[in-house]
């Protein structure tokens, strides 16, 4: 792989810093890939290797965040156990459908989804209801499976959208919503990571240090999410969504 000759120690340091920042953001609000992927592309790595390496680093990060939230008893086991299979099925259907869509349609679909998420984020929430009276299987599937479909169809911001959906439709607070999103992300990402490893597309010399940095960022980010509470998570969600909106607008203009 000739392009690896251009990856200097300076780039490795940049990747480590990027991995930490991405892990921090992803553990709180999702969207870490929006940080990692552009930096990896900027280094001259071909797109398919970028996607594989990013997926592997993110997988380590979301695993760490899942462990941290689980130890803090913030994950709703009921939501995760009911949602995981429908999300996996929906993600698979989305992946099958995306192969029939043009790049232009995909770009615009991603762009349109961001302001919709912002509207839900700013819409006044109902009073949080106790889990035992509100979390029916139907409500959980309706709130999560469409996001799983989006993950397979488009992908960017899945963790962000899942958190907002759980907050708005299941009336969970942002900490529980964020925490419960992580094992679902872990499940939907695992299949992709295995496929990339089997195809030999993961650049381990980059993925491993980036993964370790991502894990560290995820640990710190989840700690501050638990400590900072609902308002802190909401502010990070807003920053991530605005960043995604601007990045996609620039991408469409440039292309």
The Cα–Cα gap between 37 and 35 comes to 6
Take residue 23 and report the two structure tokens written for it. Answer: 């892990």
Decide if 206 contacts 53 (C-beta within 8 A). yes
What confidence tier does 96 reach under pLDDT thresholds 50, 70, 90?
confident
Q: Show Cβ contacts of residue 70 under 8 Å, excluding neighbours closer than 6 positions.
A: 179, 183
Q: How confident is the model over 12-31, as pLDDT tens digits? A: 999 999 999 999 998 998 88
Q: CA angle, 114 as apex, 56 and 179 as ends, to 5°?
A: 50
pLDDT bracket for residue 138 (50, 70, 90): very high
Query: Alpha helix (H) ranges present in the chain?
Result: 9-29, 33-42, 47-71, 77-98, 103-122, 131-134, 137-153, 158-170, 174-198, 204-254
The least confident of 67-71, 151-155, 222-226 is: 151-155
Please tell me the pTM assigned to this model.
0.80
């Amino acid at each position: 792989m000739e392009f690896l000759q251009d990856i200097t120690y300076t780039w490795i340091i940049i990747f480590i810093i990027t991995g930490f920042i991405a892990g921090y953001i992803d553990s709180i609000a999702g969207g870490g890939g929006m940080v990692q992927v552009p930096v990896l592309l900027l280094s001259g790595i071909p797109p398919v290797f970028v996607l594989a390496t990013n997926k592997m680093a993110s997988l380590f990060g979301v695993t760490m965040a899942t462990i941290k939230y689980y130890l803090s008893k913030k994950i709703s086991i009921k939501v995760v156990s009911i949602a995981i299979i429908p999300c996996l099925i929906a993600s698979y259907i989305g992946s099958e459908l995306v192969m029939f869509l043009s790049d232009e349609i995909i770009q615009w679909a991603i762009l349109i989804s961001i302001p919709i998420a912002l509207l839900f984020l700013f819409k006044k929430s109902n009073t949080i209801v106790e889990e035992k009276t509100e979390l029916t299987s139907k409500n959980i599937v309706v709130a999560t499976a469409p996001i799983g479909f989006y993950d397979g169809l488009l992908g960017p911001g899945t963790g962000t959208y899942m958190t907002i959906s759980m907050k708005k439709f299941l009336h969970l607070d942002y900490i529980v919503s964020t925490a419960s999103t992580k094992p679902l992300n872990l499940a939907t990402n695992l299949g992709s990571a295995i496929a990339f490893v089997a195809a030999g597309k993961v650049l381990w010399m980059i993925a491993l240090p980036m993964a370790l940095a991502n894990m560290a960022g995820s640990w710190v980010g989840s700690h501050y999410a638990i400590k900072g509470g609902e308002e802190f998570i909401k502010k990070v969600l807003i920053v991530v969504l605005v960043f995604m909106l601007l990045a996609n607008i620039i991408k469409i203009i440039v292309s």
